[in-house]
Homo-oligomer: A and B are copies of this chain.
């Protein structure tokens, strides 16, 4: 499959898997190299998919759980499911750990299921921006459910999860300590807290800790985030989890989550605008930038003061004649 962005978009919209794969590769690349053109063509077709983030530390069984969720949704007539795997230790992402842990062999060949590893690729504009593009494309070509598998620690993980309509945070017995790490990031964005491997000892203790963390804080009328115990391995608790996800999907269809959507759009727009503004500025101010860098390296000024001086001195992003020298 070769072709221009419009050809690839047309092919992907017709359901051609190889065109879709090529299209996603284009979307992972530079805006000017075709990603922008493709996004403009895809956007009018998007807006229906339910995007579900599945996040948690390596080892809690996220991939097995994702497999279960894929099977549950893909078994419905004409419902297509896509998985974007951002966890580099996920079996979906291939690599060294693929061998004994892969469970999706059959699924990957199922025409209703599309799986893509995004873990080890280079992302010019940040992981979350790439993720947003891929979600738009998969949504546009008709995947009704899009699962984002992420590790759930760190800023870019939180940003990827923020793309989801529904965020599942997954833990397992023996991962109680990780709750503290998650607290600093993803825990507060969770819609459903899932304790996997519920057949192992200690599951109830992890669930109790999560319930304490998930207790509503501050706002009156706030509801506690539900904690579900499941075993992705045996299937126990999976129907209840699928029902809870479906409930959220229905709430979304009837207008729920509008506030979150507004926040997400505003954030994606601002991040992109910030980058575009900076690129334009840096191109036209290479000299002053280099001069201030030297001053910081010489210990004359701290980086933040230098940055403020640079911007405050400037009168326009197309400004000329600024030699970067301080006023003093």
Contact = CB atoms under 8 A, between A and B. Distances in A.
Nearest to A275: B307
A221 interface: no
Given A177-B59, A296-B269, A302 B155 contact: no
Contact of A276 (B262, B268, B308): B308
B153 A155 contact: no
A217 interface: no
State how many copies of this chain the complex holds: 2
A270 B296 CA distance: 12
A157 to B, nearest CB: 6
B273 A181 contact: no
Nearest to A44: B299
Contacts of A303: 132, 265, 268-269, 272
Interface stretch (A69-77, A234-242, A246-254, A311-319): A311-319
B265 A58 contact: no
The list of the 6 closest CB pairs from A to B, nearest first, reads A154-B154, A316-B316, A272-B307, A268-B303, A273-B307, A89-B180
30 contacts: A39-B304, A44-B299, A46-B299, A58-B178, A87-B181, A88-B184, A89-B178, A89-B180, A89-B181, A96-B180, A119-B184, A120-B184, A125-B304, A127-B155, A132-B303, A133-B302, A133-B304, A154-B155, A155-B156, A262-B297, A265-B297, A270-B278, A271-B307, A272-B308, A273-B281, A273-B289, A273-B306, A274-B274, A314-B317, A316-B319
Given A89-B178, A272-B304, A272-B307, 18 more contacts: A36-B308, A39-B304, A44-B299, A58-B181, A88-B183, A88-B184, A89-B177, A96-B180, A125-B304, A129-B304, A133-B302, A151-B153, A153-B157, A154-B155, A271-B307, A272-B308, A277-B278, A317-B317
Interface string A308-328: 101110111111000000000
Nearest to A308: B276
Nearest to A258: B297
Contact of A153 (B129, B154, B274, B304): B154
A178 B153 CA distance: 13
Given A96-B180, A155-B154, A278 B274 contact: yes
A136 interface: yes
Interface residues of A, number: 81
Given A151-B153, A289-B273, A296-B269, A280 B181 contact: no
Contact of A305 (B40, B154, B266, B292): B40
A162 to B, nearest CB: 13
